[in-house]
Amino acid sequence: MEYSGKQIAIINAATKLFAEKGFDGASVRDIAHEADVNVAMISYYFGSKEKLMEAVFEDKTNNIKLKVENLLQDEGISHLQKVNILIDDYVDKFIHQQEFHKIMMREQLIDKNTPVACLIHELKKRNLESIKKLIQDGQKSGAFKKNIDIVLMMTTMVGTVSQMITAQHFYKKVNNLEHMDEMEFQKLMRKKLSAHLKNLFKQILTTDEQR
């Protein structure tokens, strides 16, 4: 779905405030003020705060299924290379959309059957189904081991990236990287995370003979 400039401003403002205050804590009036629009405009474009949150999710997560489908059709690269491309994509998304992933972490800590919790559940389920296809395609060809817990594997990736982002200032300090500017450090963090996860997934997915 294509959004107008005003809609994007509202979505970005909502993302920022949902990350800072949580879904319940951020009011429509707060979001309108942050986006510099009239409150009525949010209702006009999105209908409700719940629908606005759906738009945030759609805006931030709309390409994973398409990316996997394209990778499945690409016969010019190996199955492990396809997984590596997916890892790079996940790491990029986490690093460049830190506010959105803060929403994900915050709302999952609230053990309630809320509309936001349902959105997160459906997002994770949809992404998992797409990734399963990629792994199963590698299993059918003999490139990947059969006994792979895909849910645990993805939990490992998401948990690793989330923890790194949450504790990035600690990582900076213990590795004497405080002299780095923010852009330089984000680039290094992406490189480190990507290399670490690719090595880890290679161990999880492939046999000793394939390494």
Q: Per-residue pLDDT for the chain (211 aa), expressed as one digit of tens each?
A: 678 899 999 999 999 999 999 888 999 999 999 999 999 999 999 999 989 998 888 887 766 777 888 888 898 999 999 999 999 988 998 888 888 888 877 777 766 677 777 877 887 888 888 889 999 999 999 999 999 999 999 999 988 998 898 899 999 999 999 999 999 999 999 999 999 999 999 999 998 766 6
DSSP secondary structure code for residue 209 in this structure:
G
The answer to whether the CB of 95 falls within 8 A of the CB of 165 is: yes
| Token pair recorded at residue 105 | 């972490």
Q: Among 91, 19, 6, which residue's Cα sits nearest to residue 53?
A: 19
What span, in angstroms and rounded, lies between the C-alpha atoms of 68 and 45?
31
Q: Which helix (H) or strand (E) holds 76?
A: none
pLDDT of 205: 95
Contact 25, 103 (CB under 8 A): no
Specify the pTM. Answer: 0.79
Query: Whose CA is closest to 85, among 98, 104, 105, 69?
Result: 69
Closest C-alpha to 89, from 66, 65, 64: 64
Tokens representing 100 are: 């959105």
The residue behind tokens 């890892």 is 87
pLDDT at 105: 77
**pLDDT value at residue 62:** 67
Do the Cβ atoms of 101 and 94 come closer than 8 Å?
A: yes
The predicted pLDDT at position 165 comes to 87
Q: So what's the pLDDT on residue 210?
A: 65
Q: Give the end-to-end CA distance of the chain in Å, rounded to a whole number.
A: 42
CA–CA separation, 128 vs 132, rounded Å?
Answer: 6
Domains of the chain: 5-53 (1.10.10.60), 63-210 (1.10.357.10)
